Each structure stands twice: as structure tokens, then as C-alpha cells.
Amino acid sequence: FGSLREAFRRVGYVNAERDYDYLDARPQFHAELLRQASALTNHIGTLGAVAAFDPETKVMTIDGRLTISLRIARYYVPRHHAPAWLVHRRSIEPAGLILALRLDEETNREVTDYFLLPLSEMATQRINLTATPRSRFASYRSPTMEHVVRAIMAKVATLPT
């Protein structure tokens, strides 16, 4: 059947209260994360720093001093809440920062902007990024890859060598 969800669909069981389409999109999310990580690594390299990305842990290390977990922030509309982008974190996070790659509202495939979040902002296993500029996370937003690379390099510059 390809998946348990497909098996349930074939026997006529459909849970109208839940949308599980994101499960089918996981390969695309993973491919986009790898593409973005490669672009970030190359961009950081052009600035004279060394960036390495581990696809297993989804962690990027810059100059051996700064670690950033990369996460896809997919758009979703919860039943009784405003639309948001969901960012998950691990219970034991190997990095001090999380770079959330926020996807577009229409297709959930194109990265529209970036949020470089300190781990201290992720007190729970997940957070919701909203479209409002008054969000508590708005100050961590970078509209382009160039902006987020500048923010990353500014953090690296403050760390001891």
C-alpha cells in the first residue's frame, strides 16, 4: 500500500479532523532542507568560514565553534487557531541555535524566509510561527539567505576562537 495511511484510505477509513498530507511530503521537505543546507554552506564558505552540514543530525557547524540545527517550518491551519508554521525541536538538541526554514503558504515547498532562533526560545517541543510582525519571534526573522548568513557570521564573530 505504500503507507499505513494509504491502507486505511483503501478500506474506507478517513479521519476528516486530521490532515496527514505532510507525511507524504516528508521526502520533499528533506530534499529542500538538504538543498538549503548546501546553499548556506557554500555562501558561508565564500565569506572565508568553514561550514559543515551533517544530514543525519541536520546540524551545521561553522568554524567548529557554532552549531545550528536546521528545521523545516511547514505551514498548517489548526482547527481552532490561526494559521501558523510549525517548528519541532528534539528533546535533547545538539545545537545552541535552530534555523527554521519557513515554507510558503500555497504549496509548502518553497522557503520564503528564515528564523534564527536561540534554543532558549524553544521551551517546548514545538513552536508556532505566525504571520504577524508582532510575534515574539519576529525579531529573529531574516527575509533572505544573505540576511541569515550575515546573522550567523555575526554570531560566529562574537565567539572565542
How confident is the model over 101-159, as pLDDT tens digits?
999 998 888 999 999 998 887 766 777 787 766 678 888 999 999 999 999 999 999 99
Burial (CB count within 10 angstroms: exposed 0-12, middle 13-18, buried 19+), residue 23? exposed
How far is the first Cα of the chain from the last one, in angstroms, to the nearest whole number? Answer: 53
Question: What pLDDT shows up at residue 96?
Answer: 83
State whether residue 67 is helix, strand or coil. Answer: strand
Question: What pLDDT shows up at residue 24?
Answer: 59
Residue 65 has pLDDT above 70, yes or no: yes
| Average pLDDT taken over every residue of the chain | 85
Q: Are 85 and 108 in contact (CB under 8 A)?
A: no
Which residue in 31, 29, 33, 144 sits closest to 76, CA to CA?
Answer: 29
Question: What pLDDT shows up at residue 36?
Answer: 97
Burial (CB count within 10 angstroms: exposed 0-12, middle 13-18, buried 19+), residue 69? buried
Statement: the pTM of the whole predicted model exceeds 0.75: yes
Question: What pLDDT shows up at residue 14?
Answer: 64
Q: Specify the amino acid at residue 101.
A: L
Residue 5 has pLDDT above 70, yes or no: no
